[in-house]
Amino acid sequence: MTGLDPMQLDPGLWPFLIATVVKMLVIFTIYMVVVAYTTLAERKVSAWIQDRHGPNRVGPWGLFQVLADGVKNFLKEETMPGEVNKPLFLLAPAVAFTCALVAWAVIPFGAPLPTPWGRIDLVVADLPIGFLYTLAITSIGVYGIVLAGWSSNNKYALLGGLRSSAQMVSYEVAMGLSTVCVLLIAGNVSLPGIIAQQVETSWNIGLLSVAAFLFLVSAFAETNRVPFDLPEAESELIAGYHSEYSAMKFSLFFIAEYANMLTASALFVTFFLGGWDIPFTSWDNTGPATVAKALATFGMFAAKVLFFVFFYIWIRWTLPRFRYDQLMSLGWKFMLPVALAYVVIVASALLGLDAAGIARGSRAFTLALVGLNAGLLVLLFVILDRGRIISPAASRLERERVERLRRVAAARTTIAPGELR
């Protein structure tokens, strides 16, 4: 049997292969640079919030601090504790990092780009089941954390891994159910199709406000960020599942966390904020594809994603960490029932609107869903919850007893004018 001559391939296949390789190199290079500088952004934003200076000594405005940290991690000594399971100990950070990286392959990041060889879609792999791909890949990432905790042969690392697995399983269900509503409106599981549906009707943040809230909270829990950073709680577990890691292996976990932040932000933008769609104009969606449209939509997509990365950092330096019982209670007693009920309500509303002859994408269709979600938000947060479930400071004490304790504390801190010397 003779090998296939590359010149015998379909001539139209070569532009596709070359474009795919170029997109892989460009996008993942940009992705890794942005992930690296997100660590610097976190330090700068935290310094701004706490009214202090951030990194400012390595390069202008501290921009080369990321390079210095990378060189330091490459040159640090690699430690290998004596009782670890070596193959899994080495594999765990690679699994966490790889899953965070490849989830970006199906996310559209701009309008199509015209070339002399044809139109090129600005997505690395335009899978018809891109939605299912993202759920599958992001759920595999927990294996890296669990393997890291178990293979380290350290009780603190093991507890961190167990916490992470329980947390991710708990909130993965609510996240998946919240995106089911997106599929009900879009009618397919292709990410470009979901963006096209939002272009034709309205962004899903208005049509599916409750689902957007559930997805956002679940994204914080899935990425182990404050207030859901129980797997690596320093005050309880030292450093959690990466207690025994050092040098570049530790850095891979660190990079994976910020890569997951970026991926979760991109998915939220794609599902609920129209993806690369530019608001208040139809210029980017009508007429022939142009380079200007591709660049403008790519810039809009990047701006939306970076805003949510900033939101991640802002929340970290604003909210306290949950207790573990609050974490699990929120996931199973609030997020899951609300997500299940919301899927039923949205499906029933869509059936009712279709039966009434209201076309999807019409003004009446949009106003009906927006009004429904506004009513559900009021019912959920103002009438039913009233700060008792959502609030991380919720207490088991009765309200009268809490007020009595507050009065006693206030009386003890009050200083009479005659007591001043």
Instruction: Give the DSSP letter of residue 333.
Output: I
pLDDT of amino acid 22: 85
Q: What is the mean pLDDT of each run of 10 residues along the chain (421 residues)?
A: 50 74 86 89 90 87 88 82 84 86 88 82 86 86 83 82 82 90 89 90 91 92 81 65 80 86 92 91 85 92 93 87 81 90 94 90 90 91 66 58 80 60 48
CA distances from 226 to 61, 222, 298 (A): 27, 11, 29
- Pair 76, 246: CB distance under 8 Å: yes
Q: Give dist(CA 364, CA 121) in Å, integer.
A: 33
pLDDT in tens, 137-165: 888 888 888 888 888 888 888 887 788 88
pLDDT in the model for residue 288: 85
What are the Cα distances from residue 109, in Å, to 7, 30, 178? 32, 12, 22
Q: Write the CA distances from 130 to 27, 107, 135, 256, 409, integer angstroms.
A: 17, 8, 9, 21, 56
pTM listed for this prediction: 0.85
* Token pair belonging to 272: 């609920």
Per DSSP, the three-state class of 153 is: coil
pLDDT for 250? 82
Cβ 264 vs Cβ 219: under 8 Å: yes
Question: How many Cα atoms are found within 13 Å in the side-chain-facing hemisphere of 258?
Answer: 20
Quote the pLDDT of residue 10: 57
Q: What are the structure tokens assigned to 26, written together?
A: 């460009």
- Tokens, residue 165: 């697995």
The per-residue pLDDT for 383 is: 76
Q: Which of 204, 257, 276, 298 is nearest to 93 (CA)?
A: 257
Query: Using N-to-C axis directions, what is the helix angle for 209-222 and 247-272, rounded to 10°?
Result: 180
- For the beta carbon of residue 364, count every other beta carbon within 10 angstroms: 12
